[in-house]
Structure 1
Amino acid sequence: MYSGEYKNGKQVNLHNYVREQNITNREVCTYWVTVGPYTTCSSWTWYPDYTPGGGMPPGYMPGISGPLYLWAPNTLLNAPDQTKGILDRKDYLKSFNLNTGGTLHLYVDQPIANSSAAYSGVVNPEVGHTFVAIEQNGIVRVVGFYPSAAVNPFTSPSASPAFINDSGHPYDVKLSLTLNATQLSDVISKITNYSTQYNLNTNNCSDFAQQVSAAGGVNLPNTNGSWPGGGGTNPGNLGQDIRNMSLPSGAVIKTTGGIALSNAN
């Protein structure tokens, strides 16, 4: 368990963390207990300013870069806010003029700001979110891809897809792409016709955003991460990939975080 700074219920920084040396104060497990298929810690010890190298402290296992944390078997992730559901995507996006260009904004809300961590926390873990917005002459529509109901990473990572109005959602990284008329039409077509089953490991919100970006002419980097029960594309890695990518023509990256656009007109 890492000591950290929290804002609005979200971890934004690790206390006493030195990124260049990858060190931080931390608690580590000194005694593990295994019951059936589950391994948990029964005794924690505080290790100030632990520095990797020279042997691993108690609680570290070969091949694991940190203490072994397991989510509860009944953990649920990414429950959509059904009150903001987009029931008819074609109607939702009909205000855009397909004979002219616009802007595609890709927003990444990382589990930990400016970190490739795929998740943060053990109880009610934070896994972040990636979503998009289209803007044209004052018209704005914001779209996020979700499961139709919360998914369990161990037993039921798939669900039918749901599309949510993510207006005003906070983000840590934003990539804005200038689209010509053809690219705008392709982006809207991709969103309107996207029907692939949601899967936490293979087709989540970040996968959706990557495909929308590709429809707009920009293929984003794709670094996979892992979490208890699975792994794949995720907001933590995607956010860092965007921070470090070479800017394509007509693109702008904002890395200081903020609040996403809201629907307009």
Structure 2
Amino acid sequence: MKFSSIVLPLALGCAILALEHCKKAADPASLAPADQHLTLPPTYILQNLDQRLQAVIQSFQSNPESCVRLSEITRRSGTPYWSKALISQQGNMIQCLVPLKKGPDSLFRSFAAIRLDSSLHINSYHKNLLPRYRRLHSSPGAVQVNHALNALNSFGFGTSTYDLTGLDRLEMTAVRSLASTKAPTNRTQVLGGVLITTCYSWSTCQGDGMGNCVGETYYFEECVTDYKSFPDDPNISSAGDQGYEGSGTNYPPAGIGLATRSSAAMPPPKVTVTNLAAYLSCFNTAFPAKIIVYADQPTAGTTEPVSILGGIGHTWITIEQQLPGGELIRRSFGFYPQQKVNPFGNKAATASIGNDELRGFDVSWSATLTPDKLERMLQAVKAHPETYNLASYNCVNFVIDVAAAGGITLPRNRTSWIVGSGLNPGTFGEDLRQLPSSNGKKGTTLPNFGNCL
């Protein structure tokens, strides 16, 4: 199959009107701990990131002034998803586009453009400000910023539709032209879309404050191959500024709005594992295995704890093992109440383990297990608490604790919902999405495999 290419020239330096030239501060404590927590990844994420990203983050850690600037951007535009950044390096210069997302947003709507050479330089770009980039004839322009967001959402969420909203008709035509005119005559087109190898290239230069480049210009490129379909009837803004300046979105408090008592209930499992020891007996703790952690979010891609269609969501685990003789063993399981519970009334019930094969998920993450880690995890599953409690011990607590038994650290962030607080699949799913090597594409858990007692 042949591919067409879209090239993204993103001239970052020319658009930076107040370029940050951050120097190492004498007092690293000048940055509030809360800002550090919001801006920079914890150690267990940092140590698994691309080494180029690690260098950028370590520079922020030693330059509090730059970290304060980044904190200002994240407070305005959302949490940085470092593991989903686009990265490039030329010589000693590292440049990255780090996507930013607020909890209620289901996709990335902004990003921080960061360059590290002899100092740190940072600027931010937002989907809602496309008309401003168009009106100011800035570089990058509306098409380039929108294209970068499509790249980041492809990386982070596996999006299959190219988002054209916010572009005017000329810009939309330019995007479509790039996606089609460079394709060979035997290009395969499916369902109004095309399989595209998209190369995200951008350039950066030192700005003089007047929109002019001074000094050398550098060019970078990242490529992604994915299927993209263009919407048949996109909502295109030809008026320009209407409805795009500022944040553009007003969100209700978490857990409020469309949630109802019925949607906030956690039901018992559809299939209960009645004999847990037998269910897990196929695994051989003398050999390695693989753990996959899943999150079915109430609203896909957001931290919302509850929704009408998605309920309160669920998290669960699959363990896979390939035995030396070639036999594949797979079991999926999660932590449930035996009776329905909800945050408005009865929050607790006797716990049970459910069979979660063939369940749909929004995000997943996996890791390999040594034999000793596998054994400790299986022991933790069998020794699960006897009580399920929405606030103090639910499916997320179970997954995190089972992983911890095997020496794997997963995020443990409590958030508030309608009438309480605790761990929840919405927030946990977004925490998983931020982990290196996570899979942001929707899917379905594979069926169990292997004959156990």
Taking structure 2 as the reference length, what is the TM-score of the superposition?
Answer: 0.43
State the distance in 2 between where 1:258 and 1:73 align: 28
Matches within 5 A, 1:108-127: 108-121=295-308, 126-127=311-312
Matches within 5 A, 1:1-265: 19-20=109-110, 49=243, 65=253, 68-69=256-257, 72=260, 77-82=265-270, 84-121=271-308, 126-137=311-322, 138-245=328-435, 247=436, 252-265=437-450
State the distance in 2 between where 1:110 and 1:78 align: 13
RMSD between aligned alpha carbons?
3.0
- The aligned amino acid for 2:397 is D
- The aligned amino acid for 1:19 is R
Contact 1:75 1:153 in 2 (8 A): no
**Alpha-carbon deviations, 1:24-80, whole Å to 9, x = none?**
xxxxxxxxxxxxxxxxxxxxxxxx9597779x98xx9xxx64895385557661212
- C-alpha change, 1:230 and 1:264, in structure 2 (3 Å) is same
- Greater fraction strand: 1
| Residues 99-108 or 109-118, more deviating | 109-118
**Alpha-carbon deviations, 1:164-191, whole Å to 9, x = none?**
1010111111111100010000111011
CA offset at residue 260 of structure 1?
0.9
- The aligned amino acid for 1:101 is P
**Residue matched to 1:38:** none
- The aligned amino acid for 1:80 is P
**Residue matched to 1:39:** none
- C-alpha change, 1:229 and 1:52, in structure 2 (3 Å) is farther
- C-alpha change, 1:67 and 1:112, in structure 2 (3 Å) is closer
SS in structure 2 of the partner of residue 130 of structure 1: strand
State the distance in 2 between where 1:67 and 1:77 align: 13
State the distance in 2 between where 1:230 and 1:67 align: 10
SS in structure 2 of the partner of residue 242 of structure 1: helix
CA offset at residue 88 of structure 1?
1.3
State the distance in 1 between where 2:247 and 2:277 align: 56
SS in structure 2 of the partner of residue 236 of structure 1: helix
State the distance in 2 between where 1:209 and 1:189 align: 13
SS in structure 1 of the partner of residue 438 of structure 2: strand
SS in structure 2 of the partner of residue 262 of structure 1: coil
CA offset at residue 196 of structure 1?
3.7
Q: Return 5+ residue gaps in structure 2 as ranges.
A: 1-103, 111-125, 129-241, 323-327
Q: Return 5+ residue gaps in structure 1 as ranges.
A: 1-12, 24-47
State the distance in 1 between where 2:424 and 2:391 align: 9
- The aligned amino acid for 2:352 is A
Percent same amino acid among aligned pairs?
31
Contact 1:112 1:120 in 2 (8 A): yes
Taking structure 1 as the reference length, what is the TM-score of the superposition?
Answer: 0.71
- C-alpha change, 1:229 and 1:114, in structure 2 (3 Å) is same
- The aligned amino acid for 1:97 is N
- C-alpha change, 1:134 and 1:67, in structure 2 (3 Å) is closer
State the distance in 1 between where 2:379 and 2:332 align: 15
Contact 1:70 1:228 in 2 (8 A): no
**Residue matched to 1:4:** none
| Residues 211-220 or 68-77, more deviating | 68-77
State the distance in 2 between where 1:193 and 1:67 align: 32
SS in structure 2 of the partner of residue 231 of structure 1: strand
Greater CA radius of gyration, 1 or 2?
2
- Greater fraction helix: 2
- C-alpha change, 1:22 and 1:214, in structure 2 (3 Å) is farther
